[in-house]
Structure 1
Amino acid sequence: MTTQDKTGISRVSFEDLTRIVAERAKADPSVSYTAKLMAKGVEVVAKKLGEEGVELALAAVAGPKERVIAETADLLYHLAVLLAAREVTLAEVEAELAARTGRTGLAEKASRPTD
C-alpha cells in the first residue's frame, strides 16, 4: 500500500513492505524477483542482505545522499525478504525493540550472551 504525505510524496512503510513481500513471495518465480529469491533459500537471501549492507556502508562513506537513499531502500527490501524467509513477523521485531527501549544501548549490549 502506497500512501501520500501532505506534500504529495508517495510513501511505503516498512509494515507495508513486509505485506508486499509476503504477497509477492507467493507468485510464480518466473515473474517475481521476490519469489525467485525466496525459492533460492534463506542462505541466498541472507547473502544478498549482507551484500546490500556493505553497499549501503560504502555509499554512506563515499556516496551522494541519493545513493545512500537507494541503498537503504535495497537493504530494507532484502531485510523484509529475509524476515519472510525465516517466518519472522514485524510484530516480533517491534516487540524486541520495545523490550530494549527500557535500558541504554550499552546496558542492552552488555546483557547479550557472548559467543
Structure 2
Amino acid sequence: MLKLLYSSIIFSILNSRSSSYSVSLINNIELLRRKILEESYELISESLGPCLDKGRLIEESCDLIYHVAVYLISFGISYCSLIRELSRRFGSKSKAVILSNKSRPD
C-alpha cells in the first residue's frame, strides 16, 4: 500500500495538476510541515480520549502517513530508500514476527 501511495503522489506531481492537494503541499513546504504537526497531534489526541476509537486512530494514522510521504518525496527520498532502511533495521527478524502474527485479529 505504501508503494501505491508513493506512486499516486508522484503521478500527481509529475502530471502537474495544479489543483492536486499533493502539488499544493509540495509548493508550500511550510504548510506541509504544519500539516505533519497537525496530523501527529490529532493522532496522539485520539488515543488520549476517554473512549478509544480505533477507526479514528486508523484514519489519523493514514493522514499522517500521507503527509510524511509527500514530505519525503519533496526531498527526493524514494520508496525504495524507505524499504531499504526498513529492511536494514528489521530484516529477517520482522518476517518471523509477521508470520507469527498472521493469525492474530486486528
Report the TM-score when normalising by structure 1. 0.68
**RMSD (Å), alpha carbons:** 1.8
Partner residue in 2 for 1:23: 11
Deviations 1:2-45 (A, max 9, x none): xxxxxxxxxxx01100000011123232x21111111113x432
- In structure 1, the partner of 2:75 is 86
2:85 maps to what in 1? 96
Query: Higher helix proportion, which one?
Result: 2
Structure 2 unpaired stretches of 5+: 94-106
The number of residue pairs the alignment matches comes to: 89
Q: Which runs of 4+ in 1 moved over 4 A?
A: none
Partner of 1:66: 55
| Higher RCO (Cα < 8 Å, 6 or more apart) | 2
Q: Tell me, in whole angstroms, the C-alpha distance in 2 between the residues paired with 1:46 and 1:86.
A: 13
Deviations 1:71-112 (A, max 9, x none): 01101110110111111011111111222226x9xxxxxxxx
TM-score in terms of structure 2 length: 0.73
Stretches of structure 1 lacking an aligned partner (at least 5 in a row):
1-12, 105-115
Instruction: Specify which of 23, 36, 39 is matched with residue 52 of structure 1.
Output: 39
Query: Is 1:75 matched up with 2:54?
Result: no
70-79 or 54-63, which moves further after superposition?
Answer: 54-63
Deviation at residue 46 of structure 1 after TM alignment: 2.4
